[in-house]
Amino acid sequence: MEQNAKIFIAGHRGMVGSAIYRKLEKEGFTNLIVRTSAELDLRSQSAVAAFFETEKPDYVFLAAAKVGGIVANNTYRADFLYENLAIQNNVIHQSYLNGVKKLMFLGSSCIYPKMAPQPLKEDYLLTGLLEQTNEPYAIAKIAGIKMCDAYRDQYGCNFISVMPTNLYGYNDNYHPQNSHVLPALIRKFHEAKNNGDKTVTIWGTGSPKREFLFADDLADACFYLMQTYNEPNLINIGTGEDLSIKELALLIKDIVGFEGELAFDETKPDGTPRKLMDVSKLHAQGWKHRVELPEGIKLAYEDFLSKNGSQF
C-alpha cells in the first residue's frame, strides 16, 4: 500500500477495526477513511454505493460485522445472518464497482465444521456440519469468503480473506449477555472480586479448548498480509496454541485477583469442543504472533479498568 493511499476501515470502532486503525497510523498512513454506523449504515445498499462513489478508496479493510458470543449468536439468528450478509455484499460489490485495488475480508474461526480435525486447516472449509449455535454467523462469513473468490475469478479483483481465531484486547465488548468468553470472564471475576463473592460460575464443563489472539497482533498480521498476500481462498490468523476454558478461567482469576472458587454450570452449552487454528500457512508467509496470553490478558484488564472500572 502506498503511503498516501486512501484506506477505508469498515468497522473502525470495534476491537478489530480500531486495532487496524492504530497499526496504520503507527506505520505512517494518514489518509484513513472511517465512518460510524450512524454516519454510514453498511447494511444499506444505496448508502454504501453513494459513499464509495464519493470517496473512491484505494484499499478496504472489511472489519465491520454484527458480532457476539454464544448467547447472542443463538438468540439473534436472523439478525446475524441478514445483517452480516448485507454488510459484506454491499462493501465487496461496491469495492469492485469503484476499482478498489485490494480488499481484505475478515471472517471468523467458526466457519469450520464443528467436528473438523484439529488443528483447523484452511482446506477443511465446507467439509462438515457447522456448530448449531453460531451457524447463521458462520454461513454469512463463508459467503463472504466465496464472494471474494468469485469476484477474483470473474472480475480479477484482488480480494483476500483472513480468518482470525478468538480475539481479545483493547475496545473489547464486556456486555454480560453478548460478549465472548474471555472478556466475559474478565468482567465476571472483576465483579465477583468487588462484591466479595465466594464463587464464580462458568458456563459449561470447562473442558472445551480455545485459542486466543491479541487484537493488536491481528492488526499486525492484517497489515503484513495486505502488503504480501495476494492469493485466493482463505488464510488463518492465530497463535497455533490453545488451552481449556477452565485453564483460561484460572489464568484470568489470578490476573484479576479473585480469591474465591470456580463452579461449572454443566446445564449450559459448551459449544464446539475445540477450535485450534493451523497457522502453518501464515508462518510460511513470514508472520508470527508476539503477545502471549498472560501479557495480553493483563493489557486487556487494564483497558477494561480504564473504561469500565468505575461502573462496577
Residues 6+ apart with CB under 8 A from 10: 17, 42, 60, 61, 62, 63, 64, 87, 91
Q: Is 260 annotated as a binding residue?
A: no
CA–CA separation, 213 vs 291, rounded Å? 8
Does residue 167 have a known ligand-binding role? yes
Q: What is the DSSP letter of 130?
A: P
Is 17 annotated as belonging to a binding site?
A: yes
Report helix, strand and coil shares of the chain as percent, to nearest 5: 45, 15, 40
Check the annotation: does 35 bind a ligand: no
107 is in an annotated binding site: yes
Residue 11, annotated as binding a ligand: yes
Among 21, 137, 229, 301, the active-site one is 137
Answer yes or no: is 12 a known binding residue: yes
Per the CB < 8 A criterion, the answer to whether 283 and 237 are in contact is no
Sign for the CA dihedral angle at 206, 209, 214, 219 comes to: negative
Check the annotation: does 109 bind a ligand: yes
Told to judge if 224 belongs to the known catalytic residues of this protein, a careful annotator would answer no
Residue 106 annotated as binding site: yes
Instruction: Tell me if 45 sits within 8 A of 90, measured CB to CB.
Output: yes
- Pick out the residues of the known binding site for NADP(+): 11-17, 106-109, 141, 164-167, 180
- Pick out the residues of the known binding site: 11-17, 106-109, 141, 164-167, 180, 188, 203, 210, 270
Which residues are catalytically annotated? 137
- Pick out the residues of the known binding site for substrate: 188, 203, 210, 270
